[in-house]
Structures are given as structure tokens and as C-alpha cells.
A and B are shown apart, each in its own frame.
Chain A
Amino acid sequence: MSRAAILWRIASILVAAGFIAAWQLVADLRLVSPVFLPGPDRAWAALVRGFSSGDLASKLIGTLEHMAYGWLAASIAGIALGALIGSSRMMRAYVAPSLEFLRPLPVSAIIPVAIAMLGLTQGMALFVIAFGAIWPIMLATIHGFAAVEPRLYEVARSLQMSRGAVIGKIALPSALPDILAGMRLSLTVALILSVVCEILAGLDGLGQWVLLSARAFRSADLFAGVILLGVTGYLTSIAVSLVEQRMLAWQSTAR
């Protein structure tokens, strides 16, 4: 790491520490009622208590499951549909207008429809999360497939590669940087929608934990849940970034 990078890292840690200290100060001075705002000490204690009783861990797993299933379903469907649409100019011309209509539709508008059709079930949650998370992946995949260097398709033709080989060895690797970037974006969407679905449908997860804590005025538990959600979003995003860097190692050699 360069000197400048180390300095930036130290600065960012100092900012975080300062933020926590200020939070503690506001709580200690009772600038906000402790009913609404616990200090970091109480929030941390609640976090530890939640885990040792086992309750919080199961909620975390619940949220991770919702997120993972929805995200994976969105990834598979988004890549498949995106590849289909992106690899054909005609499909792009026909389908693009419908996509432009559906894409800006807020997912929250879909939720009542999904509840009406599927009830307050896991299936509804899976559908809503996947529906929301599919867009960044599908649009990135369409772009990635449409942007494959045409010369490479001519190379493939002159090598008489099979259709499957052209997709697997040329189109997909060429579109991979776009696809992975889309998957990283939709991870956040999946987390947000997991929480929303858990709150709306009372499904086991951190969303439900946060909701129940708020209703019971257990502000320390509420904050423990929110902190855990933040950490979950942060760590999963880092994990995907690491996979991305590994899979795209060849790009780091480019100027």
C-alpha cells in the first residue's frame, strides 16, 4: 500500500471513531431521549446479548437466506434473459421499449400485486426480491453482450466454433465485467427488499427483528439490528468485489 493510501485509511478510521464518540456523547448528555437513542455501548451490549441468546443469529441467517435466494434467482434469470436479448439486434429493437417501461417502475408498486397473488409467503418475498434485483443484472448483461467486439465473432466464424462455444468462450467472458458490476449493484437492492418483505410479511429475519424492537421501544435492540444490516450490506459487497477482482484479474494488466 502506498503512503497516501495508508494515510487515507487512517483518516477514514479516525472519522468513524469520531462519529462513534459523538454518538456516545449525544447519548450520555441525553440530548435525545434514551428511549429513542441508545448509546453505542448499549447498542453493542444488545448486539452481544442478541447473539448469545441465539435469536439475532437466526434472524441474520433468515435475512441472508432471503437475500441470497432472491439474488441468485435474479442473477440466473437476469443473465439468461440479458444474454438472449443482448446477443440479437432484433431482440434488442423489439424488447428494449418494454424494458424502458418496466425498469423505472418502483418495486414497491409490485409488492401489493405480489401479495395479492402469492400471499404473505416466502414465495412472495422471493418474487419481489428477484424482481427488484434482476434489473441491474439484466441491463448490464444486455449491454455487455451488445458490446462484444464484432471482430471476435469473425474469429469464431473462421475457427468454425459451435454456437455454445461462441457464447461460453467469447460472448460471456467479454460481458463478464458488466455482468459482475450489475450483480454487485443488485446485491444492495436484494438486501433492502429482503428487509421490506420481512417487515411486510412478518417473515423471519432482521426486518422483523427491527420492526418488533421498534414497536416494543427496545431502542438498543433496534439499533443492534440496524447495525447488523449495515455490516451485512458492507461485507457481502466486499465479498462480491473480491470475487470480481479475482475473475477479472486480466483487466488489471490493461493500461
Chain B
Amino acid sequence: MSVVARLDEARATRRQKALIAFNTATLQLGGKTIIENLDLEVRPGEFLCIVGASGCGKTTALRLAAGLYSPTSGAVTFDGEPITGPRREVAIVFQDYGKALLPWRTAAGNISLALEASGVPARERSSRIAALLRKIGLSDHADKYPTEMSGGMQQRLQIARCLAQEPTTLLMDEPFGALDAMTRQGLQDEVLSLTQMSQTTVIFVTHDLEEAIYLGDRVIGLLPHPGRIGIELDVDLPRPRDQLATREHPEFLRLRRQLFDFIKATEH
């Protein structure tokens, strides 16, 4: 058996085990190639972070995984099947939480939207809503409208609505990009504890390199024009992660350096 064939076979088995797989996926929008020949497998339960300069195609890659875009050529699969559209077990946390919540519904009502869509009977909803609000620390704000809540609270609410979908996979697009540093660190730990416990698969897009290493099992760096993988780093840091200890870990510093150099080179 040739080396190439053996490599192909290794790829094939990895793809079989993958929950989400990009299979030389290319996407063109408006005659422009945004993503080119992307090959990427996400294992079940993995926390994968994607970083890259602004405009390099991170959001687009995530939207391919979400089924909001279909590849022009190649394939994107979920559990081995080509993705034809959004599915309820894949929840999307949008960056612009202010636009992704219903302003005419309270916090409880916004969570209810996901339960209604899943066909949860009305009498079961209120207890499920209360449990979700407790989980993300918004129990005291059930009757508040989104406009009455801070940015951090609104993003937590969006996450709670996504959890109400009972997803096996979370796709998060720079979810904490608009939040201040303290709120951001708190939410990083919340997302970790929520997803590690339930073995949720996560694709997490961020432009914050430290955030990517802190959260991820693996970090992918994208190169722009067209978007493709430029660097892939396995993060061998102990879990549970800790805001102080993890960030001072020599491995953390080494990875940070490596990623920093990569981004620096892409921006020239």
C-alpha cells in the first residue's frame, strides 16, 4: 500500500469518527472564494477554537457548520451525513446578542421560544425555564426584557436559549467579543463548566488568542483570502482550567507565543 493511500485511509477513519467534518469544502459568495479546500474534523465532545485575522472567514466557516450556507464544492457533514440546513441539535450563539433575542419577550419568554419550537408541552415549560435561568445565574431576572439587561446578561440569556434546544453541538461566533474583560472571564468558565459536564461538542470562534488556548482542546488558525487552515495546535493543558494557573502554565505561554507569531505573520 502506498504512503498516499495509507494517509487517505487514516483521513477516512478520522472522518468517520468525526461529528462535524469539512471535506475539502469550498464556498464562493458573490463570485469570491471565501473558504477554499477546507479539511477539518471535529471529534464528538471536542472543544475546537478557531482564530484568525478579521475577515479571514471564521464566521463563514461556522455558518457552513451550522447549515446556514452550503458549500459550493466539497462537503460538510454532521455525523457522516451532508448538512442540508440548520438542525435543532446544533445550537448557534451569535455575536450580536442584542439582535438575536426577541425584544418583546422577557428573559423567560426568550427561553420559552426554543422550548415551544421543540414542542415541549406548556405545563412543563415553566420548570424547564426556571432550571435554565438558574443554570446561567439569571433567576432574579426572569421577567426582565433584554433591553433592561446588561450585555453580559443578554449573552447569557442567548446561551440559555441555546441550551434549551438541548444541543449536542454548540457553535459560538465571538460570543464574548463585545464584553468587558471581567464579564468575559466569568462567562468563559461558565461555558466550560456547562459544556464539559454534558460532553457538548463546541466550535468556538474568537479573535482573542488567549481565550482560544484557555478554552480549547485544539486551536485552528485560519489564513485569509481565501480562508484556509494555516496552523493547528493541540492544547495539552490540564482540565478543569483555571483563570490564573492555566494562564501561567509554561505550555500556555508557549502556545500563546506560537499563535501570536502566526497571526503576526498573516497580518504582515
> B-contacting residues of A (Cβ < 8 Å)?
149, 151-152, 154-161, 165, 169-170, 173-174, 176, 248, 250-251, 253-255
Q: In the complex, identify which listed stretch (B81-89, B174-182, B192-200) lies at the interface while the others stay far away.
A: B81-89
Given contact pairs A159-B117, A165-B117, A173-B104, enumerate 5 new A-B contacts (beta carbons under 8 Å).
Answer: A152-B100, A152-B102, A157-B85, A169-B116, A251-B104
Q: How far is the CB of A156 from chain B (nearest CB, A)?
A: 8
* B114 contacts the other chain (CB 8 A): yes
Q: Which residues of B contact A251 (CB under 8 A)?
A: 103-104
B94 at the A interface (CB under 8 A): yes
Distance between A97 CB and nearest chain B CB, rounded to angstroms = 27
B147→A151 contact, CB < 8 A = no
Least CB distance from B109 to A in Å reads 10
Contact A151 B88 (CB under 8 A): no
List, sorted by A's number, 25 A–B pairs whose CB atoms are closer than 8 Å: A152-B102, A154-B86, A154-B92, A154-B100, A155-B92, A155-B100, A156-B117, A157-B85, A157-B86, A158-B68, A158-B86, A159-B88, A159-B113, A159-B114, A159-B118, A160-B88, A165-B117, A169-B102, A173-B102, A174-B104, A248-B104, A250-B104, A250-B105, A253-B145, A254-B147
- Interface size classification for chain B: 20 to 34
CA–CA, A159 and B91, complex, Å = 8
Q: Is B165 an interface residue (CB 8 A)?
A: yes
What's the Cα separation between A251 and B91 when bound, in Å?
A: 28
B113 touches A169 (CB 8 A): yes
- Return A86 CB to nearest CB of chain B, in Å: 18
Q: Is B66 an interface residue (CB 8 A)?
A: yes
For residue A155, which residues in chain B have a CB less than 8 angstroms away from its CB? 92, 94, 100, 113
Residue contact A158 to B90, C-beta cutoff 8 Å: yes
Binding site for A on B (CB under 8 A): 66, 68, 85-88, 90-92, 94, 96, 99-100, 102-105, 113-114, 116-118, 145, 147-148, 165
Q: Which residues on the A side are within 8 Å of B116 (C-beta)?
A: 165, 169
Contact A161 B117 (CB under 8 A): yes
Interchain CB contact under 8 A, B100 and A159:
no
Decide: A151 and B85 in contact? CB cutoff 8 A: no
The prevalent SS among residues of A at the interface is helix
Query: Does A158 lie within 8 Å of B91, measured CB to CB?
Result: yes
Minimum CB distance partner of A177 in chain B? B104
B113 and A158 contacting across the interface, CB-CB below 8 Å:
no
Q: Residues of A contacting B117 with CB < 8 Å?
A: 156, 159-161, 165
CB distance from A209 to the nearest CB of B (A): 43
**How far apart sit A149 and B145, CA to CA, in the bound complex (Å)?**
17
Q: Are B103 and A250 in contact (CB under 8 A)?
A: yes
A151 touches B100 (CB 8 A): yes
Give A157's nearest chain B residue, CB to CB. B86
Residue of A nearest to B97 (CB): A151
Q: From the candidates B68, B148, B165, name the one contacting A253 in the complex (CB within 8 A).
A: B148
Q: How far is the CB of B174 from chain A (nearest CB, A)?
A: 14
A132 to B92, alpha carbons, bound, how many Å? 45
In the complex, what residues of A have CB within 8 A of residue B92's CB? 154-155, 158
Chain A residues positioned under 8 Å from B165 (CB to CB): 158-159
Q: Which residues of B contact A151 (CB under 8 A)?
A: 94, 96, 99-100
Q: Which residue of A lies closest to B114 (CB)?
A: A159
Which residues of chain A are within 8 angstroms of B118 by Cβ–Cβ distance?
159
CB <8 Å contact, B94 and A160: no
What is the CB-to-nearest-CB distance from A154 to chain B, in angstroms, rounded to a whole number? 6
Q: Are B86 and A170 in contact (CB under 8 A)?
A: no
| 3 closest Cβ pairs, A-B complex | A159-B117, A151-B99, A158-B86
Min CB distance A228 to B, Å, is: 37
Contact of A255 among B91, B99, B147 (CB under 8 A): B147
